[in-house]
Amino acid sequence: MKKLLSLSLACALLSASALSTAAPIGDKIKTAMASDIRSAAEVERDRNRRPVQTLEFFGLEDNMSVVELIPGGGWYTKLLAPALSENGEFYIAIGAGRVKENMAGVAGFDKMKVIAEDASSYREEGARNYSLKATTLGVSDVDMVLTFRNYHNFGEQGRKKMNELAFDALRPGGIYGVVDHTARHMEPSNSSNRRRIDPVLAIKEIQEAGFVLVDYSNLHYREDDELEYEVGARSVSGNTDRWTMKFMKPKS
């Protein structure tokens, strides 16, 4: 009996030791930020995008299963994939072809999985926004779905579909983290705000998909952005005001 108790105690101590020495997610993100696979232009954006604080706000942990929607050129992918490679699972979906090609064979990206490859985002002739065609992301019960500065790209139906895909992929209690360029509330669509979106509208739409708004952050609040100019304009490029919101799929 004493031997059994001693063995149990030893196992408990080993487990506690392993937990105490595990690198916090912030440290893993910082390590990824220092990787030489990142371009000088990507590094230049670190101060403005504040990835460590942003991902900590969303509650990212290194043992989570995470989907990044519409990774684009892979700015966040290059941070998330290495940070989750040891203990977690990482997926990219929709518009992921460029990242898939560029990261093939790169150390730390071998466990990254591309999902929903049959999904497509497209812009019809004369349309200002993209449409989204997809039925499922092909995963379920994931811990977190993230998308950065993509929500504005889609029309109403495309945004509705994206929210539904995220909701269906998440486990109950899972987190949906969204960041995008801020538009003035209720301002009619025009050429200057076409890559911005009203945060109140986003909340309404995402809640209609079944999510609960858990929290918001002012990490990307920019007082000097008057919300007047197109996000690529010299006066605001790289320094736009962005809303950062954390939603949850209800636990029951």
In whole angstroms, what is the distance from residue 184 CA to residue 137 CA?
32
pLDDT tens, per residue, the chain with 252 residues: 444 445 444 455 444 444 444 578 999 999 999 999 999 999 999 999 999 999 999 999 999 999 999 999 999 999 999 999 999 999 999 999 999 999 988 988 999 999 999 998 998 888 889 999 999 999 999 999 999 999 999 999 999 999 999 999 999 999 999 999 999 999 998 889 999 999 999 999 999 999 999 999 999 999 999 999 999 998 899 899 999 999 999 998
Strand extents, DSSP E, the chain: 65-69, 89-93, 113-115, 120-122, 131-133, 142-148, 170-181, 212-217, 242-248
In whole angstroms, what is the distance from residue 154 CA to residue 158 CA?
5
pLDDT of residue 230: 94
The pair of structure tokens assigned to 117 is: 């490859």
**Which DSSP category does 33 fall into?**
H
Strand order in the sheet with 142-148: 113-115, 89-93, 65-69, 142-148, 170-181, 242-248, 212-217
Reference 216, options 183, 178, 165; nearest CA is: 178
Distances, alpha carbon 134 to alpha carbons 38, 94, 166, in Å:
31, 9, 12
pLDDT of residue 105: 87
pLDDT of residue 22: 55
Is 199 within 8 Å of 227 (Cβ atoms)? Answer: no
pLDDT of residue 21: 47
In whole angstroms, what is the distance from residue 38 CA to residue 76 CA?
11
Residue ranges of alpha helices (H) inside 132-212 are 156-169, 199-208
In whole angstroms, what is the distance from residue 188 CA to residue 183 CA?
10
Reference 197, options 212, 208, 187; nearest CA is: 187
CA torsion sign for 15, 17, 19, 23 is: negative
9 burial (CB, 10 Å; 0-12 / 13-18 / 19+) is: exposed
**Which DSSP category does 61 fall into?**
-
Domains of the chain (ranges; CATH) run 44-248 (3.40.50.150)
